[in-house]
């Protein structure tokens, strides 16, 4: 179950990143717990990676054990509640909700993260956020206990939660949705999918939106108005299609990506006096 020296660029949306010293892809909660136990017994640092959609892994890779939850995808639907494991793509959960005429997850139809990642950062789009529909989250604590927490205990805020601070591993999530008209739900999702595909550079690897929205502004508009679209460092480029995205043109390194992020932050600060805060998580060894 434990692999050594595995390239992580194969598991990230940016197609960037060094190697994991050790990698585990558990197929059950029990295997996940064993992976954590392996790390603890061997005094290894460890971390959980969902499907690698909103992270930038540095070129030096990640020390210790990386646990991928992509095989933990079981989902059940009962009445208006969807219960799903953390590794399931949130897009697929929104599609299941649509198929069962349940409304509330339409906003998530284009978010490329896992359910666990969506909880980790309170993912959102088009006016909706995970906190709006999440009722309970089952986690594995750093002490090895499995606990079921209410949404109120998760400390949800804009693009954040208590999950990283508490070092919890999200195992399972319950979403409480509303009955709806499947035709209306599908139409809304089709509209949001069209908006996403027409505005975002999905043809290139990227980490999605790089920056949080600064109060009173839109990050993409500030970057565009700073004449930064098309600016490139190494293989990383500010997208010509959407200024809030930095794309991998084919051979970008994490160093390229971060140098461009810093250049964008510096330029926007100088031109508009606005600090752009990263939304993407930067992890690993430089």
CA atoms within 13 A on the CB side of 275: 1
Q: Are 111 and 91 in contact (CB under 8 A)?
A: yes
Who's near 32: CB < 8 A, 6+ residues apart? 24, 26, 67, 69, 72, 140, 169, 171
Sequence-separated (6 or more) residues with CB below 8 Å from residue 142 = 166, 167, 168
279 is catalytic: yes
Active-site annotation holder among 53, 209, 226, 239: 209
Which one of 159, 196, 281, 285 is the catalytic residue? 159
Is 209 among the residues known to form the active site?
yes
Is the Cβ–Cβ distance between 222 and 276 less than 8 Å? yes
213 is catalytic: no
- CA pair distance 180, 102, nearest whole angstrom: 5
Of residues 106, 172, 174, 279, which has the active-site annotation? Answer: 279
Q: Tokens 């309970």 sit at which residue?
A: 136
Residue 275: how many other CB atoms lie within 10 Å: 10
- Active site residue ranges: 159, 209, 279
């Amino acid at each position: 179950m434990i692999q050594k020296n595995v390239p992580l660029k194969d598991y990230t949306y940016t197609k960037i990143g060094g190697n994991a010293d050790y990698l585990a892809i558990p197929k059950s909660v029990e295997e996940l717990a064993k992976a954590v136990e392996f790390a603890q017994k061997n005094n290894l640092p460890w971390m959980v990676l969902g499907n690698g959609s909103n992270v930038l892994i540095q070129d030096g890779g990640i020390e210790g054990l990386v646990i991928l939850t992509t095989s933990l995808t079981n989902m059940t639907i009962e009445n208006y509640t969807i219960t799903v494991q953390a590794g399931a793509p949130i897009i697929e959960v929104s599609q299941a909700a649509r198929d069962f005429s349940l409304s509330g997850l339409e906003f998530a139809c284009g978010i490329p993260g896992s359910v666990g990642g969506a909880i980790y950062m309170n993912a959102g789009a088009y006016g909706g956020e995970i906190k709006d529909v999440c009722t309970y989250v089952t986690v594995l604590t750093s002490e090895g206990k499995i606990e079921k927490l209410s949404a109120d205990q998760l400390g949800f805020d804009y693009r954040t939660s208590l999950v990283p601070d508490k070092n919890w591993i999200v195992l399972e999530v319950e979403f409480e949705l509303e009955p709806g008209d499947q035709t209306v739900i599908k139409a809304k999702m089709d509209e949001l999918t069209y908006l996403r595909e027409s505005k975002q550079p999905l043809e290139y690897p990227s980490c999605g939106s790089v920056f949080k929205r600064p109060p009173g502004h839109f990050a993409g508009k500030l970057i565009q108005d700073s004449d930064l679209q098309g600016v490139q460092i190494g293989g990383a480029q500010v997208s010509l299609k959407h200024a809030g995205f930095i794309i991998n043109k084919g051979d970008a390194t994490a160093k390229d990506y971060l140098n461009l992020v810093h250049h964008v932050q510096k330029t926007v600060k100088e031109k508009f006096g606005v600090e752009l805060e990263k939304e993407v998580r930067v992890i690993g060894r430089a």
